[in-house]
Amino acid sequence: MQKKVTRRIRRRKKNKRIFVFFIPFLLMVLIVSSMAFLFGRLKKEMDHRQQDNLEIARLHFDKSNLDETDLDEDNVDDGEWCLTLVNKWNPMKTDGSEVETIELSNGQLVDKRIYPQLQKMLDDARAYGVYPVVASGYRTWSKQEALYNEKIEEYKAEGLSEEDAKEAAESWVAIPGTSEHQLGLSVDINADGINSAGGEVYDWLARNAYKYGFINRYPSDKTDITGVANEPWHYRYVGIKAAEEINNRGICLEEYLE
């Protein structure tokens, strides 16, 4: 009898210990679950608000239409300087050292005359919800030469002959003296890689860049005329009037200047 009583007492103590341990554990699970649920609701709410703000920004951007009057055309279309033709058949007449440049926030340089329109284009793109960055702007002769030689060496390392390597390299990197980057009028624009992907930026530029005086200089269907492979990131300032006509007619700069 005494043994039975002792066993019952032990069982009660054991059950009590289990109960004492289980209650705090259960409470902790409930608290963690509740916090996870609340954080989930909060994140969804923030995502919805962010999306709503983005849609409002895009709606505002689309309604503005960004026509030529918005961009104060009289102050930016000012002559033949922005229509200088430079390609593999028309080399520069100078070494480009006379270009008066201005520095962008990331250290890249451009001809200071295109800066207002370039900056406005980048700002408007960000307001729309895409985030472009200028990956390359003005290049000195020595910089262009270094890029050109580096590309040749890359192809030679793949087994191409000197002649074939030069031919392949020239589809991507211009011979020094034939690059628009040396004019300071061209920029390579890519996505920031955090808030936007390349395709988003290229698509926005393809639809809107002409409104700011920029054209996609090397479209995929004009390689036989430009002599350069398709570069959806390479934009050239030509002035708003010329850019609009080039865009509307679906031509390249060489065809426009003819």
Give residue 24's domain range: 1-64
Mutual angle of helices 162-169 and 141-157, in 10-degree steps: 130
Q: Is 231 a catalytic residue?
A: yes
16 and 90 belong to one structural domain: no
User: Model-level pTM?
Assistant: 0.71
**Total number of domains constituting the chain:** 2
First-to-final CA distance of the chain: 116
Would residue 245 count as lying in a domain? yes
pLDDT of residue 28: 73
CATH number of the CATH domain containing 118: 3.30.1380.10
Q: Write the CA distances from 208 to 84, 187, 223, integer angstroms.
A: 22, 15, 22
- Angstrom distance (rounded) from CA 189 to CA 234: 6
Give 49's pLDDT tier (boundaries 50, 70, 90): very low
34 and 88 belong to one structural domain: no
Would residue 81 count as lying in a domain? yes
Would residue 190 count as lying in a domain? yes
Q: Please pick, among 170, 180, 231, 244, the residue that the annotation labels catalytic.
A: 231
Q: Is the pLDDT of residue 217 over 60?
A: yes
38 and 133 belong to one structural domain: no
Q: Which two tokens stand for residue 225?
A: 């005329």
- Domain finish residue from 44, 64, 84: 64
**Residue-wise pLDDT tens digits, 91-134:** 999 999 999 999 999 999 999 999 999 999 999 999 999 999 99
Q: 246 in helix, strand or coil?
A: helix
- Domain finish residue from 64, 98, 117: 64
pLDDT of residue 237: 98
Q: Is the pLDDT of residue 54 over 60?
A: no
Would residue 169 count as lying in a domain? no
**Residue-wise pLDDT tens digits, 149-185:** 999 999 999 999 999 999 999 888 999 999 999 999 9
